[in-house]
Structure 1
Amino acid sequence: MADIVIADTTRRYDGRHLETHPLGGTESSVIRLARELVRRRHAVTVYSNCDAPVEDHGVQWRPITGARPETCDLYVACQHPRLLRFVRRPRRRAIWVLWQPNHLKHYKQIGRVWWYRPVPVLQSLHQVHIYSPFLPRRDPHILIPLGLPEDVRGQAPLAAPPPRRAIFASNPQRNLKRLVEIWAEKVLPRVPDAVLDVYGVHEMPADADFWAAWGGSLLPAGQPDHVRASVRMHPTATRTGLIEAMRGSRVMLYLGHKVEAFCLAVAEAQALGVPAVVAPVAAVPERVLDGITGFHEADPDRFAERAVALLTDDALWRRQHEAALRHQQGISWSEYAGRFEAALLADRFPINRSVLAVPPEADGDQ
C-alpha cells in the first residue's frame, strides 16, 4: 500500500461534490481517480480548496490552506507547477497534466519544473505532440486516456432514431457563438424543425433571458425569433438529466477549442452512442473516429453538411450510433487507476492483483 497525496486548486470542491454539484473534467477526474486508488488499497489524501476536512469513499480531503504534508510515497500535483513544492520531500513527484502542457515552459514556471523534475502524466496524443522538448520528460511519455464513468458505458442501441435534436454540452465560452452562427445560417434553413440543445450553463437561472444577456458575446446578436426558438439554453442539469439529453440527441456538435487536452464531453457522448461532428482542433478529433462515429470538419460548410446529414439520414445515424457503441467505450476508471499505479508505483510497490477480483459494486460507488 502506498501513501498518495494529490493537490488540486482548480475550484472549491471535495469528493462529495461528484454526486451533488456540476463539475468540470479536472475535478471529476481527481475524485474518480482518488476513489479508485483507495479501492486498490492505497491511502489517498487530496488537498483542494475544500471548506473543511472530510472523508469520502475512503479518500481523505483536506483544505490546501492547512498544514502541508512533509512526505509521502507518491505526490501528484494537478496541472500547476506552483503546486510542485506543496509536499516537501515525497519519494516520487508527478504532475498530472489535465490541460495543455504549454504553460509548463512559461518563463515563470520552467525553473520550478526543472528544479523538481516531476514525472509528467499525459492524457492525449495532442499533449504528447506539443510537449516542449525543453522540459523534463519520461521516454516514452506516460500517456493514459482519461477513464469514462460506468453510467455512460455499455448502453444498448436505441430502437429508433431520436428526433432532430443536436446537443452542445461544453463551456459556452468554447466557440458556442460561432456554432450558433453556423446553425442559423447553414443548418436550420435545411432542417427547419431541428433543435440545438445547449448544456454546460451553470451561472444563469432557469428563467434568465440568455439572448439578452449573451447576445454579441457568447451568442450571436440580432438573431430572428425562429433561430432563438431553435436554440434551447438549459441551466445546470443533473448527471442523469444530461445523460438522458445526450441519448435523446441525434448528434453532438462542437467546434472545439485550442485549450482542449482531452474533451470528456465528446468522449462521454460517443460512449453513449451519439455521433459527433467536430472541428479538428487540439485533442478533440482524437475522441471521434472520422467517418465511422462522426466527422472531423474544419470548413463551416462541410461541418453544416455533416450536421444536416446526421439530423436527417436515419441510415447514416444508425451506422454511426452503433459504431460508437462498439468502438468508443474508452477505459473504465478502474483500468485508469491500474495503469496509473503501474506507471508510477510498480517499481516500488507490488501491484495488488486481488482488487481485480472485487466486483465494481462491492464498494458502493457504482
Structure 2
Amino acid sequence: MAENDANHDQHPTAELGTDRPLELGLDTFGDITVDADGRTLSPPEVIRNVVEEAVLADRLGLDFFGVGEHHREDFAVSSPEVVLAAIAGGTERIRLGSAVTVLSSDDPVRVFQRFATLDALSGGRAEVILGRGSFTESFPLFGYDLADYEELFTDKLDLFVRLLDEEPVTWSGATRPPLVDQTVQPPAAGGLRASVGVGGSPESVVRAARYGLPLVLAIIGGDPLRFAPFVDLYHRALEQYDRPRLPVGIHSPGHVADTDEAAREELWPHYREMHLRIGRERGWPPMTRHQFDQAAGPDGALYVGSPETVAAKIVRAVEGLDADRFDLKYSAGTLPHEAMMRSIDLYGTEVAPRVREQLARAVAA
C-alpha cells in the first residue's frame, strides 16, 4: 500500500495564490476547427494556432493559459507539455499549465519530469492540473483497464504528491513499481505548482484537501452556484486535515463578442455540433437552441455574450463560490481561430478589467 497519509507535509507550492487577487485565465482543448471558408484545419495547423492564442493572452496580461490532453480525432493536443514549451518561448509572464493532465493513464514520475522541464524553460511558470479527464481513450491506448479507473488515479496521485517535495522518495503502490530512496530529476525551478481538477465528486473534493492541493472545479452545466456545497466541503476538509486555506478555481466554457447576440450566433452552430458529436457517444439527446440560450443566460454555465455580460457572470460565480481563479474555456468544437482570437482580445481588454473593478468595489463596500 502507498506510504503516504493524510498528515503528510504540505508541498511548498500549495501556499501559492492564497492571498493574491483573482487570477483570470484561459483554457483550450485544441479543438479541431474550421477556417472562414469552412475548411477543416489539420491538427498541426490547430496546434500552431493554439500557440498564437496563448501569445495573445500573455500580451494582454492574463494570468494563466491551460491546454487539455486528449487522444481522439476531434482534439489536436495529446502532449500539452510540448505545446506549452513552445508557448513558453514566445511569452514572458503568463502561467502555463495543463487542463487537465490525465494522471490515471500516465506515469507520475514522467509527468513530474516533463512539467519540471517546462518550469525550467518558462522561468518558473509551469503548473500541472491533475485529473481523470472526461474521455477514456487514453486507457486502451496505453494499456490500462477501465475497471481500475478509481484505483489508478488514487494510487498515482499519492505518488505525485510525494514527488512535489523534491526529496528522495520511498513509495510503493498497486499500479506501478515501487521507488526506494529515489531522487527524480530535474527539480522544478521554484517548486512545481499543482492542483486537482474535479467535476463535482465529493470524494474527489475531499481527496484534494487531504493531499493539500488546490481545487479546480470544471463547471460545464447548470447554475455554477450549485457547486457552493462542494467548496464548503473543501474548506471544511482542509480544516479537518489541518491545512491552510488553498485556492479554488473555476473552469467553464464561453465566448465573448461585441454583443450578446453576436456571441451566441457565433458560438451556437459550433457548440451544437460538438454537443451532438459527444452526445452520440454518451447517449445525450441533441441540444436545442432554447437549452443553449438558457445555459448562456444569467444563471447558466456558458459565459457567452458581450464583455459586460460575461464579466457580470464571472463576478457572480467568483463571489458565490469564493474562487481565486476563473479560467474561460474559450475553444468550442469547430469555432474558427479568428473568432477565438477576437474573444481572447475582448476577454483580456474588456472583461478582465470589468471583473477586477467590480470585485474591488465589492471589497471596498
Report the TM-score when normalising by structure 2.
0.33
- Which protein, 1 or 2, shows the higher relative CO under an 8 Å CA cutoff with sep ≥ 6? 2
Greater fraction of residues in helix:
2
